[in-house]
Amino acid sequence: MNHWHFILGAYGVTLLVVVVEVLAVRARRRAAARTAAASAPAPGARPGTSVRGA
């Protein structure tokens, strides 16, 4: 019994999900960078998070 189409469906969809996740996370980061660029004040205008703080 080979049932290659089941194997293909399993591996194929997994690959698809991985690709979609990677692309989605990248898009999310780009969008976040854009929003940050739009809303952030000029550098130095507001003290940022100190390295010590949490």
Partner 1 sequence: MAFNWFKLSSPASFYPVAGALIPWFAIGAAILAAIGLWLGFGVAPTDFQQGEVYRIIFIHVPSAWLSMFLYVVMAFWGALALGFGTRLSGMMAQAIAPTGALMTFIALWTGSLWGRPTWGTYWAWDARMTSELILLFLYLGIIALRQAIGDPRRADRACAVLSIVGVVNIPIIYFSVKWWNTLHQGASVKLTGSSMETTMLAGMLVMSFAFWFYSIAAVLARLRAIVLERERDAAWVAGLPEVRAAAGGPG
DSSP state letter for 9: H
Tally of CA atoms within 13 A in the half-sphere of 5 that contains its CB: 0
Strands (E), the chain: none
Does the footprint of partner 1 cover residue 21 (CB under 8 A)? yes
CB of 9 to partner 1, least distance (A): 5
**Does 19 help bind partner 1 (rule: CB under 8 A)?**
no
| By CB under 8 A, residue 23 contacts partner 1 | no
> What is the distance between the alpha carbons of residues 46 and 48, in angstroms, rounded to a whole number?
6
Binding site for partner 1 (CB under 8 A): 1-4, 6-7, 9-11, 13-14, 17-18, 21-22, 25-26, 28-54
